[in-house]
Homo-oligomer: A and B are copies of this chain.
Amino acid sequence: MSNGVNGDHHGPEPDQAELSRSEGELFLSEAFKIIVEEAVHKATDVKEKVCEWKDPEELRALMDLELGEHGESQQQLLKRVRDVAKYSVKTNHPRFFNQLFSGVDYHALTGRLLTETLNTSQYTYEVAPVFVLMEDVVLRKLRSLVGWSEGDGIFCPGGSVSNMYAMNIARYWAFPQVKTQGLWAVPRLAVFTSQESHYSMKKSAAFLGIGTENIYHVKVDESGRMIPEDLEAKIVHAKSQDAVPFFVNATAGTTVQGAFDPLNRIADISERNGMWMHVDAAWGGSVLFSKKHKHLLTGLERANSFTWNPHKMLMAGLQCSVILMRDTTNLLMRCHCANATYLFQQDKFYDMSLDTGDKSVQCGRKVDCLKLWLMWKAIGSQGLANRVDTAFANTRYFVEELKKREGFQLVSEVAPLIKERMVKKGSMMVGYQPLDSRVNFFRMVILSPQLTHSDLDFFLNETERLGEDL
């Protein structure tokens, strides 16, 4: 290696040699300083931009993305680290409202850095002893919040996959022969979910071979909640078409309006019809921590399974998603296992029930529990509850302030234009979308406890400023 990190020596051309341990550690520590400066310190500074907008062509040129035969100097690579940070969107920024994640939790981030450095896969106790036990503790604790003293679960790469797991497990529970013989061995299956549910239901039905047309979309009320009477009607309709209703997906916190479906009513209907009830609580699950708002999830304890993404409202960092199940019959393992002998040997010297990897449809699986665990250790269940309560309080504040301003109904008709202006200016980021017959409107996502009233006021003022002439 001829190019030291800080040295001014430049060889005739950068080489391809492997870094020594000390060179590697030096690079890591230099890079880490840049990462903290650009992607933490500046990225959380309200005076800095949320994004440094560049058109694709301009950015492509700026970043010099193409890959070549030869390596580069360590100095040049450090500059690249800085550039990647500089031109990336600062989702840690207080004025990033664009997705259902935002803000930064320093302990969770530490957990993520440690996870990446340890670089292991969560399939056996042998290679991930700490994380196998930790995942078990975290899942158990999450289940206890809904009152389940037993059960099962697993971390998945995102909420869509967690929902997909639920649909597959429900299918196996209803018709175990599907695993070996495929769907040809069973009658046509019917899935029920609301019109406002997440698009992962469609993706799941397509991927699992069930087909999107075998989803029956249940109507919602004005607030976006599933109408139980329509669920019953749709079930009757499906049966009349010789389809077998096996799976209801209720949503706790819809993607656009944040609505909570009436879980007890849906549970009644599911039970009467012998169906698996799943709740997509990817967004709303975190409400379980709050004594004040937990009532929104009344009835969740009657579900067979639910999805919960602590990377959303709790800020654990991407990705942190679980499916939790009430089942005590090892359904998850039975549904997914393939019993690979090279990995899940049955003659090991420890309790092989700790080799949980065969519960997953993945082989290698990232460790997703550490970031949540360390954050939880840091602020406790009470700290997490505070976070949820703060988000609700901030939302109330925002709604009251919004009501005071006359122009905001009009704004919605010009959302795409205002969006373009805010992104190019880099002052904030928020998403917009249409809903039924309504035109495009902004979806304001409030979750981070780092948000102040001043950030929320800024949002209102800035939106007015950006739309002034429209």
Instruction: Annotate A100-134 by CB proximity to B: 1 below 8 A, 0 otherwise.
Output: 01001011011011111111110001111111011
Report the stretch among A266-274, A379-387, A396-404, A405-413 that lies at the interface.
A379-387
Chain A contacts with B in 408-462, Cβ cutoff 8 A: 416, 419-420, 423, 429, 431-434, 440, 443, 449-450
Chain A contacts with B in 195-231, Cβ cutoff 8 A: 198-200, 202-214
Question: Which residue of chain B has the shortest Cβ distance to A117 in the bound complex?
Answer: B39
Question: Taking the complex as formed, is A347 at the interface, i.e. its CB lies under 8 A from any CB of chain B?
Answer: yes
In Å, the complex CA distance between A429 and B125 comes to 13
In the complex, are the beta carbons of A24 and B101 less than 8 A apart? no
In the complex, are the beta carbons of A183 and B183 less than 8 A apart? yes
Question: Taking the complex as formed, is A234 at the interface, i.e. its CB lies under 8 A from any CB of chain B?
Answer: no
In Å, the complex CA distance between A27 and B104 comes to 13
Chain A contacts with B in 54-81, Cβ cutoff 8 A: 54-56, 59-60, 63, 65-72, 77, 80-81
Report the stretch among A245-253, A297-305, A322-330, A364-372 that lies at the interface.
A364-372
Closest CB in chain B relative to A24 CB, distance in Å: 4
Number of interface residues of A (CB under 8 A): 166
In Å, the complex CA distance between A115 and B199 comes to 26
In Å, the complex CA distance between A430 and B207 comes to 36
Question: Taking the complex as formed, is A333 at the interface, i.e. its CB lies under 8 A from any CB of chain B?
Answer: no
Instruction: Annotate A154-190 by CB proximity to B: 1 below 8 A, 0 otherwise.
Output: 0001111100100010010000001111111100110
| Other-chain contact of A449, B18, B338, B361, B383 (Cβ < 8 Å) | B18
Closest CB in chain B relative to A183 CB, distance in Å: 4
In Å, the complex CA distance between A214 and B443 comes to 46
In Å, the complex CA distance between A179 and B159 comes to 21
Task: Report B-chain residues with C-beta under 8 Å of the C-beta of A36.
Answer: 25, 28-29, 117
In the complex, are the beta carbons of B380 and A27 less than 8 A apart? no
Task: Report B-chain residues with C-beta under 8 Å of the C-beta of A109.
Answer: 28, 116-117, 119
In the complex, are the beta carbons of A56 and B125 less than 8 A apart? yes
Question: Taking the complex as formed, is A374 at the interface, i.e. its CB lies under 8 A from any CB of chain B?
Answer: yes
In Å, the complex CA distance between A340 and B121 comes to 32
Task: Report B-chain residues with C-beta under 8 Å of the C-beta of A181.
Answer: 211, 213-214
Chain A contacts with B in 5-48, Cβ cutoff 8 A: 14, 16-19, 21, 23-25, 27-29, 31-32, 35-36, 39-41, 43-45
Closest 9 CB pairs of A and B: A209-B209, A182-B211, A16-B383, A24-B106, A342-B433, A157-B157, A112-B116, A349-B420, A70-B380
14 A-B pairs besides A65-B373, A67-B138, A99-B121 with CB distance below 8 A are A28-B106, A29-B32, A29-B36, A31-B114, A56-B354, A63-B134, A67-B380, A81-B110, A104-B119, A109-B119, A182-B189, A199-B363, A208-B208, A342-B443
A-B contact pairs, 20 of them (CB 8 A): A16-B386, A18-B450, A24-B40, A24-B104, A35-B110, A59-B133, A71-B383, A77-B110, A88-B118, A91-B119, A101-B119, A113-B117, A116-B116, A120-B318, A159-B364, A178-B209, A181-B214, A182-B189, A182-B210, A342-B433
